């Protein structure tokens, strides 16, 4: 079924009519399978978050802008009072084109543009995310199969100085405090992710800067691993922290990216202790590290005050199978820090200062 949101009363620049019309169109998917919704060229004002349902394809004209006029998110795939478990929430959702403008200069309230949880098969292509305050462009929490391509992430403001850890794309898991929008805190973790051909940088909006972090995670639990993550052919420009901050992942591939004038490049950490070392019952367990990390054919451009690559574990618990190969480091300030790694392959990289601690090289 293909429908046009204009048929449901879109007016443009009218927060009451636009929000109502778009939600009426989205609600069609509650009773019909595989609904495609077209949103024509124009600027539409959103006063509260839109709910998108199973099997929906949302097609925005390249000149379509969904602009937040309020404090809420713009789009989420669930309702607050409904329980969702595992990957069995509203999935098979595809969004293409247009701009999701969080309007952070006029409405400087902390929130996330897209909150997507407990789902499988989420595809976002050719979307611009703009001017977020405090939150994320997308919080991907408990997703099996996230594909993002040809998107732009422009403008972020950490207005109170307490959100330095905020990523444009947060790869997340469903635990208490991680994803407040909806769903069960059952430990469902995001896996099978591709982010490619995207640009992360600043917008021209007053008070907005480039993101602190582009892609990463800052929550974990014992024996839960982010897995099969591919970050490739992207440009990260002017990030105000490490551009990439994966946490305790397995089977991760970071390649053919450009890091341009970022404070830092890639940071890959184990989980040492504390809340992130708890199991799903709440008991604090031991240190855990990741494995099969592959960083290759990336280019690091410009001065960096943090490392271009930092890989670290704790308490003699080793990351296993790490490949760092054929990367280009072009500034004397750039450096690499490697701590607690078993089976490291470090080959073909341009000259860079390397610090190694508790590192065992791979041997055939």
The model's confidence at residue 81, banded by pLDDT at 50, 70 and 90, is confident
Tell whether the model's pLDDT for residue 49 goes beyond 70: yes
Return the domain boundaries, the chain.
2-219, 254-363
The model's confidence at residue 268, banded by pLDDT at 50, 70 and 90, is very high
Tell whether the model's pLDDT for residue 157 goes beyond 70: yes
Return d(Cα 134, Cα 267) in angstroms, integer.
21
Overall pTM > 0.95: yes
pLDDT of residue 179: 87
| Cβ–Cβ under 8 Å, residues 121 and 95 | no
Tell whether the model's pLDDT for residue 108 goes beyond 90: yes
Tell whether the model's pLDDT for residue 148 goes beyond 90: yes
The pLDDT of 172-200, averaged and rounded, is 93
pLDDT of residue 208: 97
What is the percent of the chain where pLDDT is above 70?
100
The pLDDT of 303-310, averaged and rounded, is 99
| 125-153 burial: b if 16+ Cβ within 10 Å, else e | ebbbbbbbbbbbbbbbbbbbbbbbbebbb
Express each pLDDT in 5-41 by its tens digit: 999 999 999 999 999 999 999 999 999 999 999 999 9
Answer CATH for 2-219 from 3.40.190.10, 3.40.50.20, 2.160.20.10, 3.30.420.40 = 2.160.20.10
The model's confidence at residue 62, banded by pLDDT at 50, 70 and 90, is very high
Nearest-10 Cα torsion for 273, 276, 282, 283: -20
pLDDT of residue 252: 99
Tell whether the model's pLDDT for residue 198 goes beyond 90: yes
Tell whether the model's pLDDT for residue 364 goes beyond 60: no
pLDDT of residue 173: 95
């Amino acid at each position: 079924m293909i429908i046009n949101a204009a048929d449901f009363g879109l007016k443009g620049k009218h927060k009451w009519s636009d929000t109502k019309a778009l939600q009426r169109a989205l609600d069609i998917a509650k009773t019909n399978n595989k609904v495609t919704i077209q949103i024509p060229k124009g600027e539409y004002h959103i006063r509260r978050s839109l709910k998108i349902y199973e099997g929906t394809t949302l097609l925005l004209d390249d000149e379509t802008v969904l602009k937040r006029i309020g404090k809420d998110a713009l789009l989420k795939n669930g309702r607050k009072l409904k329980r969702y478990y595992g990957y069995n929430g509203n999935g098979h959702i595809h969004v293409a084109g247009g701009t999701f403008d969080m309007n952070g200069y006029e409405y400087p309230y902390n929130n996330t543009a897209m909150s997507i949880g407990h789902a499988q098969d989420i595809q976002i292509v050719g979307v611009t995310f703009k001017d977020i305050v405090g939150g994320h462009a997308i919080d991907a929490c408990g997703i099996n199969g996230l594909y993002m391509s040809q998107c732009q992430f422009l403008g972020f403001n950490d207005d109170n100085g307490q959100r330095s850890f905020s990523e444009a794309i947060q790869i997340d898991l469903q635990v208490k405090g991680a994803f407040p929008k909806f769903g069960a805190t059952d430990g469902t973790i995001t896996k099978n992710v591709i982010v490619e051909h995207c640009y992360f940088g600043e917008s021209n909006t007053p008070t907005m800067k480039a993101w602190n972090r582009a892609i990463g995670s800052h929550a974990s639990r014992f024996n839960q691993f982010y897995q099969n993550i591919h970050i490739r052919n992207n440009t990260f420009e002017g990030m105000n922290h490490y551009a990439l901050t994966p946490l305790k992942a397995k089977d991760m591939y970071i390649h053919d990216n450009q890091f341009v004038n970022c404070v830092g490049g890639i940071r890959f950490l184990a989980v040492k202790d504390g809340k992130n070392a708890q199991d799903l019952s709440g008991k604090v367990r031991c240190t855990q590290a990741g494995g099969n990390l592959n960083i290759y054919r990336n280019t690091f451009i410009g001065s960096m005050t943090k490392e271009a690559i930092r890989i670290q574990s704790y308490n003699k618990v080793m990351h296993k199978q790490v490949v760092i190969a054929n990367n280009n480091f072009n500034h004397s300030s750039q450096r690499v820090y490697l701590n607690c790694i078993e089976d490291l392959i470090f080959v073909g990289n341009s000259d860079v200062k390397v610090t190694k601690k508790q590192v065992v090289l791979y041997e055939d």
